[in-house]
Amino acid sequence: MSVSFPPGFLWGTATAAYQIEGAVREDGRTPSIWDTFSHTPGKVENGDTGDIAVDHFHRRTQDVRLMAQLGVNAYRFSVSWPRVQPTGRGPAVQRGLDFYRGLVDDLLEHGITPLLTLYHWDLPQELETAGGWPERDTAHRFADYARIVAEALGDRVVRWTTLNEPWCSAFLGYGSGVHAPGRTDPVAALRAAHHLNLGHGLAAQALRTQLPARAQVSVSINPSAVRARTQSPADLDARRRIDALANRVFTDPMLHGSYPADLLADTERLTDWSFVHGDDLAVIRHPLDSLGINYYSPSVVSSTTDSDGPALERNDGHGASEHSPWPGADSVAFHQPPGDVTEMGWTIDPTGLYDLLMRYSREAPRLPLVITENGAAYPDKPAADGSVHDPERIRYLHGHLSAVYRAMADGADVRGYFLWSLMDNFEWAYGYGKRFGAVYVDYDTQARTPKSSARWYGELARTGVLPDC
């Protein structure tokens, strides 16, 4: 049976500024926390940094032309905060904004809809030195930055996203320390989560004041499809704890204007949450036009009291650290879900994406959904003729897009899908060792070669019909 997606569906690719741009010292840009983190010995595999990345800053026109040749109709990118507002305070650097003006103009010229993300983890280092996301002031600085970008690009960009994966920013950046800025304080992680929520709400308000009425405001979260290892009461409680920390710590205040009571109880030995002030929750619950969902793999959890020895290792897919990104959940063990895995070691399970789409369709039935990231890393290598074949990625995409179609048939209002990522790039703490791209990048020459998955995905984007795999 042919699987056809509706007309107007967004078919895009996605990237993030620090992962692709390079040019970290050009046109007034100053260091972000990821510049500092990647230059700290032992933090990133092979000592890799984003100093050059895939040189998108200088190859912007070529990369947009490549997107057009592939046939995608949308592109999700992020703005580098320290390129636009180097210290996180004060006026914009117009040369920095000019890069994004040019990028948006190139996209529109090729009929590609821009989706702009304001924050994809590159906090200006000066703001981190002043305390970072655990400090309330950072949320207000973020709103000022949002206003600056909206003033510059609001006449051309309709679709705006405040934050990308605030869970990673808070709990991997300040809890386990495997992401920048590399801090390991569970209370700081919880404070950061709240101030990211507050920053989202304040930025959404700032966008509304600057943008025309047709503009759409969203946020991209990476919710976890959390599953209990057994149906025992202890394992079900472990699932509840992780669901609160992975999902509801963001969606409850954003969608409902409150923090989960069970989360507050689970973490009361760590903090009294007095960093939540008067009208914070009303600000955070700013109306959204869509909700972005990033998905890669489900989680399986159990209570440590019901686990055997080997299962006690924290197998949550979020990097190795002696410090947990799960404050208040010391009694929870993570297990590798069954099934084939990608090169990241993440289990391939499209049912997790289906479950999340149906969950948020029920929780916010009038809120459209967009899959803002989904994809897989594989050890791609060019063949003798220079071509790059990645049938594993095509099977991965086919399975997950089939799950999206099934969710839509069952009532989920899904408006678009963004493949992570457009091209191989700097994959955070994994450096250049993991390739997620639809386009292969030779890091020595910066040559771009579309993989077979890029052509497969391009056909889907042009026709709306899911090709065979």
Please report where in the chains the tokens 């400090």 appear, as a residue.
135
CA pair distance 385, 195, nearest whole angstrom: 51
CA pair distance 403, 369, nearest whole angstrom: 14
Catalytic residue status for 45: no
Nearest to 75 by CA among 443, 438, 469: 438
Please report where in the chains the tokens 């924050």 appear, as a residue.
119
Residue 447 CB neighbours (<10 A): 11
Nearest to 76 by CA among 173, 157, 4: 157
Cα-Cα-Cα-Cα dihedral sign, residues 25, 134, 363, 228: positive
Angle 94-109/136-153 helices, nearest 10 degrees? 50
Phi, psi of 371 (to 5 degrees): -80, 105
The strands making up 299-303's β-sheet, listed across from edge to edge, are: 226-228, 299-303, 332-335
Q: What angle do CA 197, 417, 79 make, to 5 degrees?
A: 50
Nearest to 72 by CA among 419, 356, 427, 308: 419
User: Is the omega angle on the peptide bond into residue 181 within 30 degrees of 0, that is, cis?
Assistant: yes
Query: Which one of 21, 128, 135, 165 is the catalytic residue?
Result: 165
Tokens, residue 102: 């040019």
CB 35 within 8 A of CB 86: no
252-255 long-range Cβ contacts below 8 angstroms, 24+ apart = 253/197, 253/281, 253/284, 253/285, 254/197, 254/200, 254/201, 254/219, 254/284, 254/285, 254/288, 255/285, 255/288, 255/363, 255/364, 255/367
Catalytic residue status for 392: no
Nearest to 200 by CA among 154, 158, 146, 241: 146
Query: Which one of 135, 373, 392, 427 is the catalytic residue?
Result: 373
Write down how long the chain is. Answer: 469
Nearest to 31 by CA among 127, 97, 102: 127
Q: What angle do CA 51, 43, 374 make, to 5 degrees?
A: 75
Which residues are known to be catalytic? 165, 373
